[in-house]
């Protein structure tokens, strides 16, 4: 049993964390988190749908016609600073001295391909003019020029881009102005997530960035509203302190800071299921902050989103019809068989072998449980060797087979069979979800009831030179949605343009055609 002092209790109370939660988390550290059991990769025709052009056109139209009476929301996880995006630049500032070595020698000596790419593409970076115009210092060598440029970008007393939230960095250069991902998300929302010329967006951010986001919205709102003929309502929320998780030492005892207080760490993006649970809309689009497109790709991306939303609405219509039937006096065995077939073929639900032998009341109970769940339609992109999770059929601890998005960290890579299944994956997860979070009566589900708490992650970290174990909550689109009904749909590669490093901004997909 863990011993907690009065100060510990105070700390828990301030964060809104119960003792039961802490006990439960320490138990998880002690027991470990079992690997996910992969049955097989989801592929086209077995877990992933692929639509012809004609079917896509029909689904887009279906969404456009049927969403007019619905509330739409775009939900964008946007917390965190962009420091990881500039790792190579921070490293360069640390180790390069332009007075002692020319740039070519440095690049060769350190095999610094990232910095080489950055320096060669300098003028194509969206913030090139912005940074350039701030520099007064004369540079007489290429090395000095790049060094001064990077220092102007990164230093705390200059532009300080490393501190910025990724959503507020300059991403796309339009000539007269440079757009941030935040602005591009507004433009996108106007194309597929608006009703009656209104678009609602919700960004999950860090508290220290809220004023920056609000300032950005004030400065771009009018321009985007005029360009898109849309007015925008934007909400913000933070990851809750109550979703922080306790850290433990290597013996699974609570890890204490030098002042004796308990160490809690942010629970990862899975904590955002709480933020999502507080939203109220009929259809919620989810997309990461750094995945935005230039105008040339906007139509294809918007049609892809509308296709996914069309799939959701079409399936939901049937789900609601069947749920109403099950609420009545459902003794029609044929109809029950029809509902089971629908759940299997359209919602990828799997039933145990003994289902058909059950009494009608037993069948109804199971069908009600399977059909009354939130639904997610997830875009999946063909595997091009990008890192990240993918779509799989898994078998859980209750022996139930279901469709899930699984990360590599959840798989036992030392098991050759599991490794083979993981490597056989034809598609990966670009984080492109359309969610239905209400039942047939229009009542919102409590999304916290559909989380698989056993799908978190335990990682080893250090603090002040001491080793510790940290617990990440089940990821937002992994275990946090494990018990949702799931549909995977192939979407075009053009819908996936994340900016993980600064050099990703040099890719053609982030270069604006200035004749736009």
Measuring CA to CA, how many Å separate 340 from each of 267, 351, 353, 371?
37, 8, 13, 9
CA angle, residues 375, 21, 472, in degrees to nearest 5? 60
- pLDDT band, very low/low/confident/very high, at 59 (cuts 50, 70, 90): very high
Contacts of 99 (CB under 8 A, 6+ apart): none
Helix residue spans in 166-242 (DSSP H)? 181-192, 210-228
- pLDDT band, very low/low/confident/very high, at 58 (cuts 50, 70, 90): very high
pLDDT > 80? residue 1:
no
The mean pLDDT of the chain is 93
End-to-end CA distance of the chain: 65
Q: What is the pLDDT of residues 342-398, one digit of tens each?
A: 999 999 999 998 898 899 999 999 999 999 999 999 999 998 766 668 999 999 888
The CA distance from 99 to 126, in Å, is 28
Strands (E) in 55-190, as ranges, are 72-77, 172-173, 178-179
Q: Looking at residue 245, what is its pLDDT?
A: 94
What is the value of pTM for the model shown?
0.95
274, 278, 279, 284 alpha-carbon torsion, rounded to 10° = 30
Higher pLDDT, 282 or 18: 282
pLDDT > 70? residue 80:
yes
Q: What is the mean pLDDT of residues 400-404?
A: 94
pLDDT > 90? residue 513:
no
Q: What is the mean pLDDT of residues 6-21?
A: 89
The CA distance from 142 to 86, in Å, is 20
Q: What is the pLDDT of residues 90-114, one digit of tens each?
A: 999 999 999 899 999 999 999 999 9
Q: Is the dihedral of CA 83, 84, 88, 94 positive or negative?
A: positive
Q: What is the mean pLDDT of residues 107-131?
A: 94
Going along the chain from its start, the domains and CATH numbers come out as 6-82+167-490+504-510 (3.90.550), 84-163 (no CATH)
Higher pLDDT, 200 or 137: 200
Q: Looking at residue 424, what is its pLDDT?
A: 86
Q: Looking at residue 343, what is its pLDDT?
A: 97
The percent of residues in the chain predicted with pLDDT above 90, rounded, is 82
Q: Looking at residue 268, what is its pLDDT?
A: 87
The CA distance from 48 to 403, in Å, is 10
Q: Looking at residue 516, what is its pLDDT?
A: 47
The secondary structure of residue 447, as a DSSP letter, is G
Q: What is the pLDDT of residues 265-280, one digit of tens each?
A: 988 888 999 999 999 9
């Amino acid at each position: 049993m863990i011993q907690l002092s009065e100060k510990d209790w105070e700390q828990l109370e301030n964060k809104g964390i119960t003792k039961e939660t802490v006990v439960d988390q320490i138990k998880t550290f002690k027991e470990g988190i079992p690997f996910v059991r992969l049955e097989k990769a989801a592929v086209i025709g077995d877990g992933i749908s692929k639509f012809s052009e004609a079917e896509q056109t029909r689904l887009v139209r279906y969404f456009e016609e049927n969403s007019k009476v619905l509330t739409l929301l775009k939900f964008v996880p946007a917390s965190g600073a962009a420091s990881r995006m500039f790792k190579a630049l921070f490293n360069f500032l640390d180790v390069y001295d332009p007075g002692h070595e020319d740039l070519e020698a440095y690049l060769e000596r350190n095999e610094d391909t990232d910095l080489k790419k950055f320096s060669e593409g300098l003028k194509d970076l969206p913030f090139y003019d912005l940074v350039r115009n701030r520099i007064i210092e004369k540079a007489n060598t290429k090395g000095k020029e790049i060094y001064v440029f990077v220092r102007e970008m990164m230093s705390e007393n200059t532009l300080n881009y490393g501190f910025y939230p990724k959503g507020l960095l300059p991403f796309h250069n339009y000539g007269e102005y440079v757009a941030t991902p935040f602005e591009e998300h507004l433009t996108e929302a106007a194309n597929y997530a608006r009703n009656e010329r209104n678009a609602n967006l919700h960004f999950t951010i860090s508290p220290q960035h809220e004023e920056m986001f609000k300032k950005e919205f004030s400065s771009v709102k009018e321009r985007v509203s005029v360009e898109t003929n849309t007015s925008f309502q934007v909400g913000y929320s933070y990851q809750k302190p109550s979703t922080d998780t306790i850290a433990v030492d290597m013996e699974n005892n609570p890890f204490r800071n030098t002042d004796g207080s308990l160490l809690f760490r942010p629970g990862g993006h899975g904590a955002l299921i709480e933020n999502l649970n507080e939203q109220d809309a009929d259809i919620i689009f989810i997309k990461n902050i750094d995945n935005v497109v230039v105008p040339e790709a906007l139509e294809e991306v918007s049609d892809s989103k509308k296709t996914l939303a069309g799939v959701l609405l079409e399936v939901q219509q049937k789900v609601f019809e069947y749920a109403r039937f099950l609420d009545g006096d459902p003794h029609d065995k044929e109809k029950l068989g029809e509902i089971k077939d629908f759940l299997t073929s359209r919602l990828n639900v799997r039933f145990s072998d003994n289902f058909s032998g059950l009494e009608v009341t037993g069948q109804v109970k199971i069908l009600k449980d399977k059909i009354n769940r939130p639904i997610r339609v997830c875009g999946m992109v063909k595997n091009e060797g990008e890192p990240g999770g993918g779509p799989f059929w898994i078998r859980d601890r209750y022996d139930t087979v279901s469709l899930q998005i699984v990360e590599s960290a959840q798989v036992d890579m030392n098991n050759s069979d599991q490794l083979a299944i993981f490597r056989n994956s034809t598609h990966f997860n670009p984080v492109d979800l359309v969610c239905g979070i209400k039942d047939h009566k229009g009542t919102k589900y409590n999304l916290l009831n559909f989380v698989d708490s056993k799908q978190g992650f335990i990682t080893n970290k250090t603090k002040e030179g001491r080793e510790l174990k940290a617990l990440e909550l089940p990821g937002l689109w992994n275990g946090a949605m494990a018990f949702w009904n799931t549909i995977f749909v192939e979407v075009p590669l053009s819908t996936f343009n994340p900016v993980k490093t600064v050099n990703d901004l040099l890719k053609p997909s982030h270069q604006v055609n200035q004749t736009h």
